[in-house]
């Protein structure tokens, strides 16, 4: 009886993914026109991990593509703890190690989400010859005219509520916070408000603290990009229309300061976690991009 009950629960959890997979014929018709297998590297946002790409990774693989989902430092299954991350270069090191291992004859499609756009931008600077196109989904984008400290300053200026987000003071109570953990209320109402409830439950189980980088000079140095290297890589932006965390206005603020883009796409009905709220639409765009680059 217990076994049958567990199977029923599992079937209920898998039903949303099955419904997404049933939409694959229309996805195939609109993307991957050249029939070539591409290598996607998916980079998660703050507090998340490779796990948050399970829907999109499944859809892309079912179309014959190779997909690598990265756990950045102190994220997902990465063994480091947040108090071991002393600089942003520590944080994005797993992506750089992966890019180093990519053969010189191969090019990948980078897809960065949210804070993952910073790591994506740095990878473009360090490995422009290994990237066919970089895709930014409601993400931060670095350019020679837009630094990461400038983006953080704009976020602070907009003074968005962090609600029940918890802060950690690894350097002592009189020093600035060194990490934060998104609270359940903040995640449910600002990040996942249009996502399936089972994915909210998954995220509340797996999300980890996010390092905060207080050394602004070091932060700027370790995220600096140039037009001669980063600027060589074609880039595409995907706007999440109903994002209550990084609003559409803020996404456009980033876009206008990090031009040019080969294309700017918009996904309707998507919250900040577009890979959960609109996985089929996001995958459709990625398949179209794969057919072009």
CB of 61 closer than 8 Å to CB of 67? yes
Catalytic one among 243, 245, 277, 285?
Answer: 243
Please name which of 69, 129, 127, 67 lies closest in space to residue 99, comparing C-alpha atoms: 127
CB of 75 closer than 8 Å to CB of 48? yes
CA dihedral over 130, 293, 280, 196, signed as positive or negative: positive
User: In which residue are the tokens 């997902």 written?
Assistant: 76
CB of 162 closer than 8 Å to CB of 171? no
The H or E element spanning position 210 is strand 210-211
Catalytic one among 75, 114, 246, 270?
Answer: 114
CB of 103 closer than 8 Å to CB of 129? no
Q: Is 244 exposed, middle or buried (0-12, 13-18, 19+ CB in 10 A)?
A: middle
CB of 26 closer than 8 Å to CB of 253? no
Catalytic one among 44, 65, 272, 285?
Answer: 272
Long-range contacts of 139-142 (CB under 8 A, 24+ apart): 139/45, 139/112, 139/113, 139/114, 139/115, 139/237, 139/254, 140/114, 140/115, 140/254, 141/117, 141/235, 141/237, 141/254, 141/255, 141/258, 142/117, 142/118, 142/223, 142/225, 142/230, 142/258
> Could you confirm whether 243 is annotated as catalytic?
yes
Give the angle 88-155-127 at the CA atoms, nearest 5°.
35
Q: What token pair was written down for 256?
A: 């206008």
181, β-bridge pairs: 166
> Could you confirm whether 272 is annotated as catalytic?
yes
Residues recognised as catalytic: 114, 243, 272
């Amino acid at each position: 009886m217990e076994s049958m009950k567990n199977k029923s629960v599992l079937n209920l959890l898998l039903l949303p993914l099955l419904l997404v997979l049933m939409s694959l014929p229309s996805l195939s018709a609109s993307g991957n026109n050249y029939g070539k297998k591409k290598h996607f590297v998916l980079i998660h946002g703050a507090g998340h991990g490779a796990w948050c790409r399970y829907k999109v990774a499944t859809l892309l693989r079912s179309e014959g593509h190779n997909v690598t989902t990265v756990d950045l430092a102190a994220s997902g299954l990465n063994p480091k703890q947040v108090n071991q991350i002393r600089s942003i270069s520590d944080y994005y090191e797993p992506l750089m190690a992966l890019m180093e291992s990519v053969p010189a004859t191969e090019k990948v499609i980078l897809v960065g989400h949210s804070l993952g756009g910073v790591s994506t931008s740095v990878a473009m600077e360090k490995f422009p010859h290994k990237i066919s196109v970089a895709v930014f989904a409601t993400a931060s984008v670095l350019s020679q005219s837009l630094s990461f400290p400038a983006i953080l300053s704009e976020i602070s200026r907009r003074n968005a509520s962090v609600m029940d987000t918890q802060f950690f003071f690894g350097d002592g109570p009189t020093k600035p916070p060194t990490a934060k953990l998104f609270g359940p209320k903040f995640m449910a109402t600002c990040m996942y408000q249009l996502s399936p409830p089972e994915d909210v439950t998954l995220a509340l189980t797996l999300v980890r603290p996010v390092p905060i980088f207080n050394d602004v000079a070091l932060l700027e140095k370790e995220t600096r990009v140039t037009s001669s290297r980063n600027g060589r890589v074609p880039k595409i932006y995907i706007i999440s229309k109903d994002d209550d965390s990084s609003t559409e206005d803020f996404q456009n603020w980033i876009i206008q300061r990090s031009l040019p883009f080969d294309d700017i796409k918009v996904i309707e009905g998507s919250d900040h976690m577009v890979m959960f709220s609109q996985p089929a639409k996001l995958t459709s765009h990625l398949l179209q991009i794969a057919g072009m680059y």
